[in-house]
Structure 1
Amino acid sequence: LAAIYQEIQKAEQAIEELESMFKSLNEQDEKQLQELALEGRQTIDQKINTLYTNLVPKEKYDNNDVILEVISGRTTGADYGGPRHAAAQTSGDNVYKHLKYEGGIHRVQQIPEVGLSSRMQRIHTRTMSVIVLPQPDEVDVIGPQDLRIDTFRAKGAGGQHVNTTDSAVRLVHIPTGLVVECQQERSQIKNKEIALRVLRARLYQQMIEKDKHQQQSARKLQVGTRAQSERIWTYNFTQDRVTDHRITYEVRDIEEFLYGEKCLDQLIQRLLQSANEEAIAELLDENL
């Protein structure tokens, strides 16, 4: 373990040297070497995460698929309407491991579109909650006696009927009071299937949180966990900047962050590294 930790320190020192070299480049050199330096940084980050994997036990739910929910929050400056809630299922290898730190409050700051009145030409802020739920592995956490199913007509903006049948579904989990609605499909059967997936994921998350709470050390209770923390990311379009408030990390190209792969992957690697460092500190607290 000591040898692995020494390798981690050497790799972190290499990152500091790389960043120091990058800061000393002039503008012409920067354009030529920026991509090379970024690839070098990613290689070292991956090595550090691999080393940390040998130190930190793998979390129980890291390999699970994910239900990702987005819920519209507070808006200041202008209200553009649009969907208030959406949910998506994501499958693959180690999905929860790589997406779990996106859970929390995401804040967007931008200037409204050209064409609005002059009094609205100011920065306005929108927030939304992102919830990342590990999907249960073939575990039925819902008994038929625990469920109440209501159907109603799906509605669109302004109260317009999307269709004239009772295709929308509302599920109520009687023991916990959890409520899930789905009206995105025209078929009541499909809406029920989607709502059940979301409900199972939410109940599964409650089981996970209870399990984690029982295992939390005194340090974790004081420091807290990053999951579902307040205002984790800010997307500032006026300054072309994305900020992660948990690790004080900035990306200076929003377009690349949103539509590219390297910037987001790099941020996820930094978050995983920071979480591993915290886990190691906790292990040291428990064993010293």
Structure 2
Amino acid sequence: MLAGRWLRLCRRAVHSGSVRGGRWGTTLAGHSSRKCAIITVVPHGGAVASSRLCHSGLGDLYEDERVQRHLQQLTEEHRDLIVKLQQAYLSESDRKVLTRRHTELLPLANICGGIEQALKDHEEVVSLLHGSAGAKGEDEQLTQLLNEEEAQISAKILALREDLIKALVPADPLNSSNVLLEVVSGRTTGGDICQQFTKEMFDMYQGFACYKNWDFEVYNYTPAEYGGLHHAAVRIAGDNVYRHMKHEGGTHRVQRIPEMGLSSRMQRIHTGTMTVIILPQPVEFDVHIDPKDLRIDTFRSRGAGGQSVNTTDSAVRIVHLPTGVTVECQQTRSQLQNRDNAIRVLRARLYQSMLGKETKQRHMARKQQVGTRSQSDRIRTYNFSQDRVTDHRTGYVTRDIKEFMRGGEALDDLISDVFEQAERDALLEMVERCSSSSLTQPESAD
């Protein structure tokens, strides 16, 4: 194989020399499109070092000892499945179970095979580089080609490792769901700053929906004095909305000198909070609601919305008696449409409650160690006086707060950072859980 690679490079050197006039440059194929890593090639030494260009990444988890052990277990399981599937005496039901698991592991096995082949190719190139050390003339061109090929193979290895780690991350079946987003004003002295901030957050998410080409349908909007907002509920629909929005739920804190309202008279920095609630609305989910468990009231809309809205009993309030969950909708002139929208919101809230009960026990142990990330915790601070937004879960900091509040690329970058960190946590949690379960399983008898 070494002779074949050397012959191929010789032909490339002759062709490249005639085309480029003997000018050589060290290039890294695909580097311009990869933001997370760069390869530094040490001439003739075969050493490759990677330097992180972004603040986080999944590829570096490949070197984690726990992940390596988990990969080894999956690789051994895949090999065992191949052997078992070749046995003729398997029952049809057992074969189906083994085939299903083999299909699940096949993409991982293919990526591992690609990494193994790329490492062999890299070893060949390094051997050829050692053999060409100190070369002159045409051999110098071949050495340069070897350096380029080594850089390309190294970049390929990094890309495959990152693909492998991404394939290991547990998939969230709700990622493609639409969401119900609620913004709720917090309470401080006067409350003006919280209500104004809640309005700005509502506008930010509306801008983000526009940036992502998502539908933004308002279900409920309760304005406050001085242009603020008490509460709003909206449905956001589009591609992978929940995947992007699910980590926005929580308490958001603002620090600023209020521009209007009673608090603005003090001309000092105030601190306020508001809460964002994100509820998934999967395409198919069954939450049975017995009409007997509902109390439905109608009333006149309290907010702005036109004379015909405010003078008719079109607004709807629904109370789910067994749980006490209350939903209001007053955005349209049709009482029937408001009722349908309120039922959809109620279903989403009840679904979230069911989902929370299922996951509570699994997350309890981890929350005790790293702290909860539930919606009752402060997740982000918006400091207008220092022109800074800080996400407390990852330490991500961004400037130009006015641009951030428009809900465009700056918000998208922060959301991507939080999502990547959450994927890292989910993978490590899964690896630890699998490792613990394998340790507690009794060894099979020979």
TM-score between both structures, scaled by the size of structure 1? 0.76
Any conservation in 1 of the 2:257–2:264 contact (CA below 8 Å)?
A: no
Equivalent-residue separation in structure 2 for 1:48 and 1:195 (angstroms): 46
**CA displacement at 1:48 relative to structure 2:** 9.1
**Aligned residue in 2 for 1:103:** 249
Amino acid at match of 1:90: I
Amino acid at match of 2:234: A
Q: How many pairs were matched up?
A: 251
Any conservation in 2 of the 1:65–1:92 contact (CA below 8 Å)?
A: yes
**Aligned residue in 1 for 2:314:** 167
State the SS of the aligned residue for 2:386.
coil
- Considering only CA atoms, is the larger Rg found in Structure 1 or Structure 2? 2
Amino acid at match of 2:177: N
Equivalent-residue separation in structure 1 for 2:277 and 2:173 (angstroms): 19
State the SS of the aligned residue for 1:205.
helix
Post-superposition CA distance 1:114-168 (Å, at most 9, x none)? 89898521122231110000014243412322222111122238xx996222111
Q: Of 246, 257, 269, which aligns to 1:123?
A: 269
Q: Is the counterpart of residue 87 in structure 1 residue 123 in structure 2?
A: no
**CA displacement at 1:75 relative to structure 2:** 3.3
Change in 2 beyond 3 A, CA 1:227/1:95: farther
Any conservation in 2 of the 1:235–1:254 contact (CA below 8 Å)?
A: yes
State the SS of the aligned residue for 1:192.
helix
Q: Is the counterpart of residue 240 in structure 1 residue 369 in structure 2?
A: no
Amino acid at match of 1:65: N
Change in 2 beyond 3 A, CA 1:143/1:237: same
**CA displacement at 1:50 relative to structure 2:** 5.5
Which residues of 2 match residues 52-91 of structure 1 at below 5 A?
52-76=165-189, 79=192, 81=225, 82-91=228-237
Structure number with the bigger relative contact order (C-alpha 8 A, sep ≥ 6) is 1
State the SS of the aligned residue for 2:259.
coil
**Aligned residue in 1 for 2:343:** 196
Amino acid at match of 1:262: E
Change in 2 beyond 3 A, CA 1:169/1:115: closer
**CA displacement at 1:186 relative to structure 2:** 2.4
Between Structure 1 and Structure 2, which shows a larger proportion of strand residues?
1
Which residues of 2 match residues 212-227 of structure 1 at below 5 A?
212-216=359-363, 218-220=365-367, 222-227=369-374
Q: Of 260, 275, 297, which aligns to 1:150?
A: 297
Amino acid at match of 1:240: D
**CA displacement at 1:72 relative to structure 2:** 0.7
TM-score between both structures, scaled by the size of structure 2? 0.50
- Gaps of at least 5 residues in structure 1 are 1-9, 20-45
| Percent identity over paired residues | 58
Change in 2 beyond 3 A, CA 1:156/1:273: closer
Larger displacement relative to structure 2 (111-120 or 266-275): 111-120
Amino acid at match of 1:60: P
Q: Of 309, 322, 325, which aligns to 1:178?
A: 325
Equivalent-residue separation in structure 2 for 1:129 and 1:164 (angstroms): 31
Between Structure 1 and Structure 2, which shows a larger proportion of helix residues?
2
Which residues of 2 match residues 18-37 of structure 1 at below 5 A?
none
Which residues of 2 match residues 257-276 of structure 1 at below 5 A?
257-259=404-406, 261-276=408-423
- Gaps of at least 5 residues in structure 2 are 1-35, 39-48, 56-158, 197-224, 436-446
Q: Of 40, 52, 57, which aligns to 1:16?
A: 52
Post-superposition CA distance 1:220-268 (Å, at most 9, x none)? 5543552415111111111111110111111011122222633222211
